[in-house]
Amino acid sequence: MDISYGAAFTVGLLGSGHCLGMCGGLVSAFFIKVGAGKTAPLRAVASYHVARITVYAAVGWLAALLGSVLVSTGRIGLAQGVLQIIAGAIVIVLGFDLLGLSPIRNAYGFAPLAWVRKQFVGATQKGPIIGSAIGGALNGLMPCSMTLAMAVQATTAPSPPEGMLVMFAFGLGTLPAMFSASLLFGKLGPRLRGWLLKGAALTVIALGVSTFWQGLRYFLVMWRLVA
């Protein structure tokens, strides 16, 4: 399957409004509490976002590994098609959730939210560099439909390294907005955030449709071969 790293990067870039709306205030408050404005602000911010993107990449690796395990448990060709169909459908639903049009709202992250919040608050006491790294890693685990959609997309990658690169590209796309929020504590205007979010959601939906269609075609081809 052809994995588009450019599309993953675009989702992250267009999702800047969503990132700032969901996490901008949280990140700004974190850097105020951790004291990064007084001590090594650039190193602290870099530590935060390197850790955050590293978590995304690790999630991508594990997602692709999970996908390969699921495929290997059944008839390889048919299972690969089924996985892509299911992943595509989930990504589409998450895309509509970003638009606020899905009857199913996502409340899931990669770790329990209560635990993440507790550790995030505690990270502010660890100093500007170590604390920022911990905070960034925890930020990568927080519930987010956009991040979850890209992780589901990564399950269809041909190999764990390629799944890792999907999430790494996505993380790089989120970097400009999140980095500026960390340093400048600024926000995009609500109208611009809204347009960027719509663009990210539509890109997510397009990825889901493409994955669903590829999976369906692959399943039908393999079905004819094994039937």
- Is the per-residue pLDDT at 57 higher than 90? yes
Q: Which of 42-46, 132-136, 163-167, 200-204 reaches the highest mean pLDDT?
A: 163-167
Question: In whole angstroms, what is the distance from residue 218 CA to residue 138 CA?
Answer: 37
Pinpoint the alpha helices (H) of the chain. Answer: 5-14, 16-19, 25-34, 41-72, 76-98, 113-123, 128-139, 145-154, 160-184, 190-226
- Asked whether the beta carbons of 197 and 60 are under 8 A apart, the reply is no
Mean pLDDT value across residues 98-120: 73
Question: In whole angstroms, what is the distance from residue 220 CA to residue 212 CA?
Answer: 12
- The pLDDT confidence band at residue 25, using thresholds 50, 70 and 90, is low
* DSSP annotation string for 137-163: HHHTTS--HHHHHHHHHHTTSSSHHHH
Question: In whole angstroms, what is the distance from residue 113 CA to residue 152 CA?
Answer: 19
| Mean predicted lDDT score pLDDT of the chain | 78
**Burial letters for 155-174: b for 16+ Cβ neighbours within 10 Å, e otherwise?**
bbbeebebbbbbbbbbbbbb
Q: What is the pLDDT of residues 153-192, one digit of tens each?
A: 898 888 899 999 999 999 999 888 777 766 654 455 566 6
| Confidence (pTM) | 0.77
Mean pLDDT value across residues 31-53: 76
Handedness of CA 176, 182, 183, 189 (dihedral sign): positive
Q: What is the pLDDT of residues 69-97, one digit of tens each?
A: 777 665 555 677 777 888 888 888 878 87
The confidence score (pLDDT) of residue 81 equals 75
- Asked whether the beta carbons of 59 and 140 are under 8 A apart, the reply is yes
Question: In whole angstroms, what is the distance from residue 147 CA to residue 52 CA?
Answer: 12
**Burial letters for 113-138: b for 16+ Cβ neighbours within 10 Å, e otherwise?**
eeebeeebeebbeebbbebbbbbbbb
Torsion angle, alpha carbons of 54, 28, 10, 169, to 10: -10
Q: What 3-state class would DSSP assign to 23?
A: helix
Report domain extents, the chain: 5-33+41-226
pLDDT above 70 covers a percentage of the chain that reads 74
Structure tokens at 158: 């041909």
